[in-house]
Amino acid sequence: MEIKVKCSCGEGNCAEWAIIELQGVVEAQPSFQDRLQNLEIGILCRPSTQEKYTFTVGYHELTGSKVPLKKPFLILKKVKCLDLGADQTDAPVNSSDSNVELQVVGIIRHRILFKTRPKALISINCHFLSSDFEQLYLKTVLTPAIQIRRVMANPLWRVETMMPLVVAGLFVFIVAAMGRDLSTRSPPFKFHVHCK
């Protein structure tokens, strides 16, 4: 089967998205898990003319910088076009029969990357808007010292079923990897470990 990659933006007009990347996970309090929309995550500051940034989440402050991506990312959106051809049947459309297309919706050329261990802010002079500690609904977990990359095959045809697995797996490994030697690995995935 063939999946076409379509682009309606035209060269040079591709909308530029941004990435803010943390080496860690932002965890919400359980009661807020399902209603994160519109809630503030944190404050991003650029203190000087340098491309250095701080990101304050809860009472943690992360420092990072804006870096250009070595290879840009394209953001593709999977779009199902039901083929209403001459033989219209009521049978459910098989995923290999329906016309799936990938549309380019944007491009990413830079990211703001935070990979240091967060600094705990304890002084009263912190400048974040969601002020009361008791009302904090977000906190960062301790960031692992390394980023873990995991290579998987067969991405496109089965990406929907793999998602929950990936997220669950990552959580387990972040907790397990903190401070531990990663020489024990669990099959069947291969690991590429970026050490600093």
The residues in 120-179 that bind another protein, with binding defined as CB under 8 A, are 127, 129, 144, 147-157, 159-160, 162-163, 166-167, 169-170, 173-174, 177
How many CB atoms lie under 10 A from the CB of residue 186? 10
Among 79, 81, 93, 145, interactor with another protein by CB under 8 A: 79
Q: How far apart are CA 116 and CA 34, in angstroms?
A: 29
Q: Which two tokens stand for residue 59?
A: 């009472």
Footprint of another protein on residues 7-66 (CB under 8 A)?
7, 9-11, 14-26, 36-49, 53, 55, 66
Q: Which two tokens stand for residue 137?
A: 């609904």
- Nearest approach in angstroms of CB 18 to another protein is 4
Footprint of another protein on residues 83-102 (CB under 8 A)?
95-96, 102
- Nearest approach in angstroms of CB 57 to another protein is 9
Among 63, 65, 99, 108, interactor with another protein by CB under 8 A: 108
- Nearest approach in angstroms of CB 120 to another protein is 19
Footprint of another protein on residues 55-74 (CB under 8 A)?
55, 66, 71-74
- What SS3 class is residue 68? strand
143 close to 99: Cβ distance less than 8 angstroms: no
Number of residues that bind another protein (CB under 8 A): 86
Token look-up 């491309």 returns 51
Span from 76-84, 85-93, 118-126, 180-188 in contact with another protein (CB under 8 A) = 76-84
Of 108 and 121, CB closest to another protein: 108
Query: Per rule CB under 8 A, is residue 188 in the interface with another protein?
Result: no
- Nearest approach in angstroms of CB 189 to another protein is 8
Which of 86, 82, 89, 111 lies closest to 16 in space, CA to CA?
111
Please report, as a single letter, which amino acid is at residue 112.
Answer: I
Of 106 and 136, CB closest to another protein: 106
Of 4 and 134, CB closest to another protein: 4
Q: Which two tokens stand for residue 92?
A: 């459910």
> Using the 8-state DSSP alphabet, how is residue 134 labeled?
G
How many CB atoms lie under 10 A from the CB of residue 127? 10
Q: How far apart are CA 194 and CA 176, in angstroms?
A: 16
Q: How far apart are CA 55 and CA 171, in angstroms?
A: 22
